Structure 1
Amino acid sequence: MFNSLRPRPRSHHQALVLNEAKQVLLIEAGTRRSVLTLPGGAAGRREPPHLAARRHLEASTGLVRALHCLLIVDFVGARPFQFVHWGGQLDPDQAAEVARRSSLHWVDEDSLPEVVAPDDLRRISHALAFLAWQAMLPALVHGMRP
């Protein structure tokens, strides 16, 4: 009964990270090892969006990245807003280090439909398109770049 009184998360934050081959870094989605997703999760109460994305990226990959730009914001019903932050392109040494973790995968854009959920595929595709156009929105906190 009391669970229904808990506030639902207002936003979900993911990070798009690429390697030099332009492959997308994906993580295993919970217990469903056949489904992959971008690293991310819900923001804490009053947690700035870029810090939520950074926290989840570090927790799932070990990467500590400055996430100062947004690629897309998607409104969905269950979690009202899905944000995809630009996590940058890793150099070969960083990418090799990340690849050592068994729950992380580098995936070519052409292979994404086989391993991600349809909603994630749409978000990742749009994020990659905006990245190619260099169309990023700066993430601000109180009107300043973090």
Structure 2
Amino acid sequence: MVTPDSPLYERDPKAWREYLAEGNAKQARKRVSADVIIRDAAGKILLVNPSYKPDWDVPGGMVEANEPPHVAARRELKEELGVDLRVGPLLVVDWVSPHDPWDDLLSMVFDSASLTSEQISKIQFRDKEISDYQFCDRTQAAERLRPYVWRRVAAALDAQESKSALYLVDGHQAGFR
């Protein structure tokens, strides 16, 4: 067996590659989502109403295998809303614990530029995943989003203001000891 301490590590690149492949096959895989905070000129937050689940959400979606999360967020905006918008800095990483049939998840939330009224007028649902959208203030967003999603979005809004990304666990700021 080849290990990092083994002399084969330096002398046998093929054996080292096999060792890495074995580790890759055994290590856990994580689901990753990539969402985007988008505002209008008045500072309201864009929420979307997905047709496949009961509650509103922020735009974005699941990252595909070997796809960078910020690229996934931009792809999802194009696919679902017909909006080609550059995704900005990372605001939040939220580790979501296993729930119901799902394993854990890393949910990333990115910043973006505000949409102009012209860009908003061009929003069109490209697939059947989104049935409606609305720009909401914080109170309206808190009412429409599931509590754990609202905690993540509220943290992302705080991160926008502080210009400092946050790490969350189930929507709560993680305490480090």
Q: TM-score, normalised by structure 2?
A: 0.65
Aligned pairs (5 A) from 1:25-36: 25-32=46-53, 35-36=55-56
Match of residue 60 from structure 2? 40
Asked whether the equivalents of residues 14 and 57 of structure 1 are also in contact (C-alpha less than 8 Å), the reply is no
Higher relative contact order (CA 8 A, sep 6+): 1
1:91 equivalent in alignment to 2:116: yes
Partners of 2:150 and 2:157 in 1: CA distance = 10
**Deviation at 1:32?**
4.1
1:13 equivalent in alignment to 2:34: yes
Unmatched runs of 5 consecutive residues or more in structure 2? 1-27, 99-103, 126-130, 167-177
Q: Between Structure 1 and Structure 2, whose CA radius of gyration is higher? A: 2
**Deviation at 1:135?**
2.6
Query: Which of 126, 137, 141 is matched with 1:112 structurally?
Result: 141
Match of residue 140 from structure 1? none
Q: Percent identity?
A: 27
Match of 2:142, SS?
Answer: helix
**Deviation sequence 1:76-133 (CA, Å, 0-9, x none):** 12442000011221122223333x7651111111211211101110011011111112
Partners of 1:23 and 1:68 in 2: CA distance = 17
Partners of 2:34 and 2:122 in 1: CA distance = 23
Aligned pairs (5 A) from 1:115-134: 115-134=144-163
Q: TM-score, normalised by structure 1?
A: 0.78
Query: Which of 59, 79, 82 is matched with 2:107 structurally?
Result: 82
Partners of 2:114 and 2:165 in 1: CA distance = 15
Asked whether the equivalents of residues 9 and 43 of structure 1 are also in contact (C-alpha less than 8 Å), the reply is no
Asked whether the equivalents of residues 12 and 43 of structure 1 are also in contact (C-alpha less than 8 Å), the reply is yes
Match of 1:65, SS?
Answer: coil
Asked whether the equivalents of residues 88 and 113 of structure 2 are also in contact (C-alpha less than 8 Å), the reply is no
Partners of 2:110 and 2:74 in 1: CA distance = 9
Counterpart residue identity of residue 17, structure 1: I
Aligned pairs (5 A) from 1:45-84: 45-78=65-98, 79-84=104-109
CA RMSD for the aligned pairs?
2.2
Range with greater deviation from structure 2 (7-16 or 51-60): 7-16
**Deviation at 1:27?**
0.9
Partners of 1:8 and 1:103 in 2: CA distance = 32
Unmatched runs of 5 consecutive residues or more in structure 1? 1-6, 138-146
Counterpart residue identity of residue 96, structure 2: V
Match of 1:13, SS?
Answer: strand
Counterpart residue identity of residue 46, structure 1: N
